[in-house]
Amino acid sequence: MLRRILPLACLIFLLPLAARAGIDPRFVAVEQRAEDLKRLESVVVSQNGTIVYERGPVDRPTNIKSLSKSVISALVGIAVDKGVLSGPDEKIAPILSSSLPKNGDPRLNEITVGDLLTMRSGLERTSGQNYGTWISSANWVRDALDRPFVDQPGGRMLYSTGNTHLLSAILTKASGKTTLQLARDWLGGPLGIAIPSWDRDPQGIYLGGNNMSLSPHALVKIGEMYRNGGMAGGRRVLSKGWIDASWTPVTQSFFTGHGYGYGWFETDIGGHKVHYGWGFGGQMLYVVPDIGLTVVMMSDTGHYERGSGYVQDLHALLGEAIIPAAMSGQSAVQ
């Protein structure tokens, strides 16, 4: 069973400790729950644009693993806003024509940008047991496109980092700039965040959808930009329409049953609609719009075991401790 929030007597006992540590008394139970999760390294809670709780290293860049997919989605949305790409219905074959395999499956001509964003390309997955073989190939883009079709384009969700790597290649080809340059120009500058370099494929394309490094504070700013409908510091960074589309489930994860939009998972936690990005081992970015919350959790991925229940523990930390603490201080945002 999930652990219960500390009883009132324990909270009263811990209040002096919280005061000495500078912890908002509302978040005493959060601190205790977080302390019990030994893999959890950092937590940042922002409510209505103000950081109300944090623990662990919050300014140090951390490998966010597949949470990178939510960042790639933002870059694709900005590319659409700027006219670099026409939209989610744009076919990918003309852009990636030089990387298409000879005598490739005709269905490659049907795949759209939106299919890649929602993991519905139909191509065999490059994640999971296929990941090592894929990144050992001489050309990651061509290898991803040369995978056999196991469903039709626009079919069921097949979670695959190859899909988001194709998006990185598309961004590079269509803009004439690297994905790193775009991330720094389109997100780093407007949000005031540092975006370090990360892995590239043999052709120099930055890995789309894995191994970006961002600090928890940087991720909070990305989450806040989404929560504020694409605005940051009075400046439009991303269109609200793209955010609405990103947060509209068009498919469902086979592994969790949660909805999936453009690089974001969707579910209910603690009685609230939650949009979240998820990286291997528990790298989490949650946005809970109706109560003004953006929450980041970064975890130690060493010796992490899939199916261990750890990510469910993080969901429970949000739903059973963080959300009640946030709600205890103010009513829901109108």
Q: What is the pTM of this model?
A: 0.92
Q: How confident is the model at residue 330 (pLDDT cuts 50, 70, 90)?
A: low
SS3 152: coil
Mean residue pLDDT of the chain comes to: 92
* Dihedral angle of Cα 108, 109, 115, 121, to the nearest 10 degrees: -10
| DSSP structure class, residue 298 | E
CA distance 328 to 227: 20
pLDDT digits (tens, 9 = 90+) for 16-28: 444 446 789 999 9
Domains of the chain, first to last: 8-17+26-60+217-327 (3.40.710.10), 66-187 (3.40.710.10)
One-character DSSP codes across 15-75: HHHHHHHT--GGGHHHHHHHHH-TTEEEEEEEETTEEEEEES--SS-EE-GGGHHHHHHHH
pLDDT digits (tens, 9 = 90+) for 98-119: 999 999 999 999 999 999 999 9
R_g of the chain, CA atoms, integer Å:
20
Residue given tokens 């623990």 in the structure block: 55
22, with CB counted inside 10 A (0-12, 13-18, 19+), is exposed
Residue 306's pLDDT is 72
CA distance 120 to 113: 10
**Using an 8 Å Cβ cutoff, are 230 and 236 in contact?**
yes
Residue 113's pLDDT is 98
